[in-house]
Structure 1
Amino acid sequence: MRKNRLWKIAGGIFAVILVIVLIGPFLVPVPPLENTVPAETLADEDSRFIDVIGINVHYKSYGQGKPVFILLHGFGASLFSWHEVTTPLAEYGTVIAYDRPAFGLTERPLEWEGENPYSQEAQVELAIGLMDALEIEQAVLVGNSAGGTIAMLTTLKYPQRVQSLILADPAVYEGGGAPAWIRPLLGTPQMRHLGPLVARQIQVRGPELVELAWHDPSKITPEIEVGYQKPLHVADWDRALWELTLASRESGLAERLGEFDLPVLVITGDDDRIVPTEQSIRLAGELPNAQLVVIPQCGHLPHEERPDEFMQAVTSFLSEKQQ
């Protein structure tokens, strides 16, 4: 009798825990974002939008002629990240900077059929789709951090479309989102409900993360702060960021570096605390045809913190290619 009673008590406790686990998350309120607006209302005078495989992509174009440079920003950034180098880079050809899905002013789909538009595979197709839409046959891909990851994956799948690579502190050896064992949990209805709350932490920690990316945070101007905060006024940015989190995977690039037979320039700061400088040095050594430039007193964003030195490295690289 006593044993049966204990089993009943244990069963009751388990049932309560199960209800809390299954139902509790839905009881946590997720209030709608305040003061958000459609992306188009935040566009600049030189902003452009184009439909690429069903997604309204925000981009800007500079210069003319060949070569064509396609700029891919990193996580938490937008095409604004390139604002210091678009004009000098345009002296050498056409420059296309665009907002990757989940960032900037590019459309943030929350429903879709087929491939998750925030996955690495879909982002590769978006990069090529943008080139197709703009009638660009071949381009130099310029990627920073996670944007460098997409640039490299695009090169592997469409080598005939990529002339060369310029990689600023690319994320190759680490990253890839949550560990595989926890991904099923993140995709449950409970976590999809709570996910936007988790994503909203970037709004709180954003300034801290930007400072972490710089060697000298005192150089971060109010213009830069506004540039990074602006996309956080776009409707559903939190839900899109959570979908990107769910779609994140390891790239597998580290095992395929021998397949890159095109010219590659790897640029890194000597004080990168996000993608450690040593990783970029290692990458340049493991790529078959790579040059390495380490910029002193510079963090994770050499094109922002040290644009002159960044352009010197790019200019030298382009000059050698023409010889």
Structure 2
Amino acid sequence: MSQPAPHIVRRGSGRPLLLVHGLGVDHRFLLPLDDALEAAGGWERIYVDLPGFGGTPALEGEGGLPEFADWLDDVVADLVGEEPLAVLGTSIGGLLVRELVARRPEQVTGLALLAPVVDPDPDARDVPERTILEKDQALLAELDEEEAEPFLDLAVIQTRPVWEQFREHVLPGAQRVDEDALTRLQDGYALEGPLPEERFGTYDRPTLIVTGRQDDKVGFMDQLALAEHFPRLTLAMLDRAGHNVHLDQEQAVGAMVQNWAADAAREL
């Protein structure tokens, strides 16, 4: 069964760095990190749309998480072959890039995870209660109800600067989701076999994990428990940040991503 070619956006030049977004958005969600990655130097940033999101058509067949993992592995094979690469993933993209580490442990020279899914089963996650730290009531009163719904569900800082980031980098992808593909993915929202860490054991390359203290979607406790698998881990839990941690704390996350990318470049 043939599967869709990925829609990708390339920025810069150098060794490949693959960036993988999460559920319900597309590659534009991660573009706010591009200045930091460019400043690190030495990387061609490859932003990919997952199947059924953005510009990539949906998978044929079942279209669950195992099929997404196989598709992404094939994309890496087609784009970079056996060449070393670094990977960055957010939310479910954070699980998918860890799966790449399990499959390609010698090839992946750096791993960055932003608010990553640890266990696909929502009932197995340790998450805090929903908290909103700041609201701009005037802004909320003027928002279109349909556009505001995903913003209000995710944002813990509901102010104009955060909304403008959300409108630019989240809404365009959210409005292009293939709903059938999303349903099939949610119906098959589990990897086959053990989670990636149980297979690769220890990953001894530059690793970054950034979580939001107020992230009520995937939490922060499960991510802290990953530390034993990553001897070269930088781990940060940021206050005033929810699931869209790099939008809520753009400067802090950008600085950490830049440092991580520079460290990963030294591995080449």
Q: TM-score range by the shorter chain?
A: 0.7 to 0.9
**Aligned equivalents of 1:249, 1:177: Cα separation in 2:** 11
2:162 alignment partner in structure 1: 220
Q: Which amino acid aligns with 1:70?
A: L
Residue 131 (str. 1) matches residue 76 (str. 2): yes
**Corresponding residue for residue 238 of structure 2:** 295
User: 1:189 maps to which residue?
Assistant: none
* Native 8 Å contact 1:57 1:106 kept in 2: yes
Which residue of structure 2 aligns with residue 261 of structure 1? 203
Does 1:304 pair with 2:247?
yes
Quick check: which one's helix share is greater?
Answer: 1
Deviations 1:125-182 (A, max 9, x none): 322322333335221110111100000111101223311210111111x334799xxx
Could you say which residue in structure 2 is the equivalent of 1:102? Answer: 52
Q: 2:256 is matched with which residue?
A: 313
CA distance 1:77–1:70, change in 2 (3 Å) = same
The 1:318/1:82 distance shift into structure 2, 3 A limit, reads closer
Query: Partner of 1:79 in structure 2?
Result: 27
C-alpha contact 2:37 2:261 (8 A) present in aligned 1: no
CA distance in 1, matches of 2:65, 2:86: 19
**TM-score normalised by the chain length of structure 2:** 0.76
CA distance in 2 between counterparts of 1:85 and 1:94 reads: 13
Shift of 1:106: 0.8
Q: Give the aligned residue type for 2:12.
A: G
Distance in 2 separating the partners of 1:240 and 1:77: 13
Deviations 1:31-62 (A, max 9, x none): xxxxxxxxxxxxxxxxxxxxxx6303211110
Query: CA offsets, 1:190-233, max 9 Å, x none?
Result: xxxxxxxxxxxxxx987434434333122433563364343455
Residue in 2 that maps onto 1:208: 149
Query: Matches of 1:305 and 1:79 in 2, distance apart?
Result: 18
Equivalent residues of 1:177, 1:250 under 8 A apart? no
Q: How does 1:60-209 map to 2 (within 5 A)?
A: 60-66=9-15, 68-91=16-39, 92=41, 93-109=43-59, 111-112=60-61, 116=62, 118-135=63-80, 137-172=83-118, 174-176=119-121, 207-209=148-150
Do structure 1's residue 238 and structure 2's residue 187 form an aligned pair? Answer: no
5+ unaligned residues in a row in structure 2: which ranges? 125-144
Change (3 A) 1:287 1:128: same
Greater RCO (Cα-Cα under 8 Å, separation 6 or more): 2
Which residue of structure 1 aligns with residue 132 of structure 2?
none
Say whether the 8 Å CA contact 1:268–1:295 is kept in structure 2: yes
Q: Which amino acid aligns with 1:130?
A: V
Report how many aligned residue pairs link the two structures: 239
- Aligned mates of 2:175, 2:261 — CA distance in 1: 38
1:248 partner amino acid: Y
Q: Cα distance 1:158–1:228, how it changes in 2: closer, same or farther (>3 A)?
A: same
Superposed structure 1 runs of 4+ greater than 6 Å apart: none
Structure 1 contact 177–249 (Cα < 8 Å) conserved? no
**Which residue does 1:193 correspond to in 2?**
none
Residue 248, structure 1, aligned to residue 197, structure 2: no
Of 276-285 and 152-161, more deviation after overlay is shown by: 276-285
Structure 2 counterparts to residues 1-16 of structure 1, below 5 A? none
Alignment partner, residue 25 of structure 1: none
For 1:64, what is the secondary structure of its paired residue? Answer: coil
TM-score, normalised by the number of residues in structure 1: 0.65
Give RMSD over aligned pairs. Answer: 2.9
**Residues 77-99 of structure 1 deviation map (CA, whole Å, 9 limit, x = unaligned):** 21111121123313321101111
